[in-house]
A and B are shown apart, each in its own frame.
Chain A
Amino acid sequence: MLFALVAAACASLAFGAVHIPLGEVLDTLFGRQVPETSKQIIEVLRLPRTVEAIVVGAALGVAGACLQGALNNPLASPDVIGVTGGAGFGAMLVILLSPASVALLPLSALAFGLLAALLVFLIGFTGRGGGNITRIILAGIAIAALFSAATAGLMSVYPDRVPNAVFFLVGGLTSTGWDNLETIWPYFAVGFVLAAFMIRPLDRLMLGDDVAASVGSRPRLIRLTAALAAAILASAAAAIAGLLAFLGLLIPHLVRLLGGTNNHSYVMPVSALAGAALLTAADTLARTIASPVEMPVGPFLVLLGVPLFLWLLRKAV
Chain B
Amino acid sequence: MTTVAARTQPRFNRIHGLVMLLAAVLLGLALAAPHAEAAGKQRVVAISPFAASAMIKMGVKPIAIGQTIGGSRRLDPRLRNVKTLKLSHPNGPNLEVMAKIKPDLVFSSTRWSKGTSAMKRLGIRVVYADPTGLGQVYPTIRKIGRKIGRSAQAGRLIASMKKRVNRATKPTTKHPKILVVLGIGTTAMAFLKNSWGGQLVRAAGGNLVTGGATNSGGFARLSDEVVVAQNPDIIVVVPHGNSDDIGQVADYIENNEAWQTTNAVKNGKVFVSVDNELLQAGTDVGQIIGKIRSKWLKNW
State yes or no: do A and B touch (Cβ within 8 Å). Answer: yes
Contact of A17 among B88, B226, B241 (CB under 8 A): B226
The DSSP consensus for interface residues of chain A is helix
Determine if A291 and B257 form an interchain contact, defined as CB atoms under 8 angstroms apart: no
Residues of B within 8 A of A159 (CB): 88-90
Contact of B225 among A16, A102, A156, A295 (CB under 8 A): A16
Distance between Cα atoms of A103 and B251 in the complex (Å): 10
Give residues of chain B (163-196) contacting chain A, Cβ–Cβ below 8 Å: 182-187, 189
**Does B256 touch A at the CB level, under 8 Å?**
yes
**Does A44 touch B at the CB level, under 8 Å?**
yes
Residues of A within 8 A of B90 (CB): 159
Contact of B229 among A18, A101, A179 (CB under 8 A): A18
**Does B30 touch A at the CB level, under 8 Å?**
no
Give residues of chain B (245-300) contacting chain A, Cβ–Cβ below 8 Å: 245, 248-249, 252, 255-258, 260-261
Contact of B257 among A16, A167, A176 (CB under 8 A): A176
Q: Which of under 10, 10 to 19, 20 to 34, or 35 or more describes the interface residues of A?
A: 35 or more
**Does B158 touch A at the CB level, under 8 Å?**
no
**Does B202 touch A at the CB level, under 8 Å?**
no
Determine if A100 and B256 form an interchain contact, defined as CB atoms under 8 angstroms apart: no
Distance between Cα atoms of A295 and B222 in the complex (Å): 9
**Does A223 touch B at the CB level, under 8 Å?**
no
Pick out which of these stretches binds chain A: B3-11, B15-23, B211-219.
B211-219
Give residues of chain A (134-165) contacting chain B, Cβ–Cβ below 8 Å: 156, 158-161, 163-165
Give residues of chain A (1-57) contacting chain B, Cβ–Cβ below 8 Å: 16-18, 36-37, 40-41, 44-46
Give the one of B182, B189, B256 with max A CB within 10 A: B256
Q: Which residues of A contact B (CB under 8 A)?
A: 16-18, 36-37, 40-41, 44-46, 95, 98-103, 105, 156, 158-161, 163-165, 167-168, 172, 174-179, 242, 287, 291-295
What are 16 A-B contacts with C-beta separation under 8 Å? Answer: A18-B225, A18-B226, A41-B228, A44-B228, A44-B258, A44-B261, A46-B225, A102-B185, A102-B186, A161-B183, A167-B221, A175-B224, A176-B186, A176-B258, A292-B211, A293-B220
